[in-house]
Amino acid sequence: MANSISIERLSAGYGAVRVLTDIDMHVASGETVALLGTNGNGKSTLIKCITGQVQPTAGRVSATIDGVEHNLAGRSTQDIINLGIAIVPEGRRLFPKLTVEENLLLGAFRAAARPRREESLAFCYEAFPRLRERRTQLAGSMSGGEQQMLAIARALMTLPKILLVDEPSVGLAPILVARTIDTIADLKQRLGLTVLMAEQNFPQAIRIADRGYVLVHGRIELTADDPQALRDSDIVRQLYLGGA
């Protein structure tokens, strides 16, 4: 069944400050799409427009879940998660004083996920053996890489159809960045997810992306239909090497 996201002519900001202008973006069913941009160019704001945490000032955001289209305008984040869209937020946002397992079980709050939470937990422990080993450890005392794995696993506990991942590489050592990105690709494959991933680590994101967009000062500067087009693009090279 089709699970996709569509954004048309979207603008958004905070108060009088406009952050995103005229965004057109599509994530087709089963794709991994990279949303590339350096710091402060609006990636998180765009993800938050999908999750209902930021309300666009213009344009349309819709998602198709199991073949049914839903207009996401005005819906609460809870409602959007209930549809089957999960987010792995920037900075992980775990509950540091709760154990690994408690964090995971809290992920299974949505109605469709609750009855299957033991099964989901078993899946997460199989996919992330480290989390099983550390199930009783407080989340806040886990390493950065382990916390990122926990944040991804917690999102999976909602049994999503679409996974939004906001800058999974932040704060991780290079080897862990590569491992985290590989994990996302592997889970996408195994679970048949549709994935939108915001990243400022361009090469790592491009490695697993089917397509991508480059966001500069809140506008889509490049829409690339394949990873090679991203690699070959001047803007990607300029931004990544120049860090602008």
Which among 42-50, 153-161, 171-179, 206-214 is the span making contact with ligand ATP, rule CB under 6 A?
A: 42-50
Report if residue 44 touches ligand ATP, rule: CB under 6 A.
Answer: yes
CB of 30 or CB of 171, closer to ligand ATP: 171
71-90 positions binding ligand ATP, by CB under 6 A:
90
Residue 206 token pair: 């491009």
Report if residue 21 touches ligand ATP, rule: CB under 6 A.
Answer: no
Query: In sequence order, what are the residues at sequence separation of 6 or more whose Cβ sits closer than 8 angstroms to the Cβ of residue 175?
Result: none
Among 22, 24, 40, 141, binds ligand ATP (CB under 6 A): 40
Helix (H) or strand (E) holding 8: strand 4-14
Report if residue 14 touches ligand ATP, rule: CB under 6 A.
Answer: yes
Q: Least distance to ligand ATP from the beta carbon of 154, Å?
A: 20
- Compute, in degrees rounded to 10, the torsion defined by CA atoms 213, 215, 219, 221: -60
| Partner residues linked to 169 by β-bridges | none
- Angle between helix axes 117-127 and 144-156 (nearest 10 degrees) is 150
149-168 positions binding ligand ATP, by CB under 6 A:
167
Report if residue 45 touches ligand ATP, rule: CB under 6 A.
Answer: yes
Torsional sign, CA 126, 130, 131, 134: positive
CB of 39 or CB of 136, closer to ligand ATP: 39
Among 16, 39, 74, 175, binds ligand ATP (CB under 6 A): 39
Query: In sequence order, what are the residues at sequence separation of 6 or more whose Cβ sits closer than 8 angstroms to the Cβ of residue 56?
Result: 10, 11, 12, 20, 49, 73
Contact (Cβ atoms closer than 8 angstroms) between residue 97 and residue 138 = yes
- Angle between helix axes 144-156 and 100-107 (nearest 10 degrees) is 30
Report if residue 92 touches ligand ATP, rule: CB under 6 A.
Answer: no
Which among 41-49, 143-151, 173-181, 201-209 is the span making contact with ligand ATP, rule CB under 6 A?
A: 41-49
Among 7, 19, 63, 187, binds ligand ATP (CB under 6 A): 19
Q: What is the DSSP letter of 45?
A: H
Report if residue 212 touches ligand ATP, rule: CB under 6 A.
Answer: no
Among 31, 34, 37, 164, binds ligand ATP (CB under 6 A): 37
Report if residue 41 touches ligand ATP, rule: CB under 6 A.
Answer: yes
- Which own/partner contact pairs does 17-21 have at CB distance under 8 Å and 24+ positions apart? 18/57, 18/218, 19/45, 19/218, 20/45, 20/46, 20/49, 20/56, 20/218, 20/219, 21/218, 21/219
Q: Least distance to ligand ATP from the beta carbon of 244, Å?
A: 12
Q: Under the rule (CB under 6 A), what is the footprint of ligand ATP?
A: 14, 17, 19, 37, 39-45, 90, 167, 200
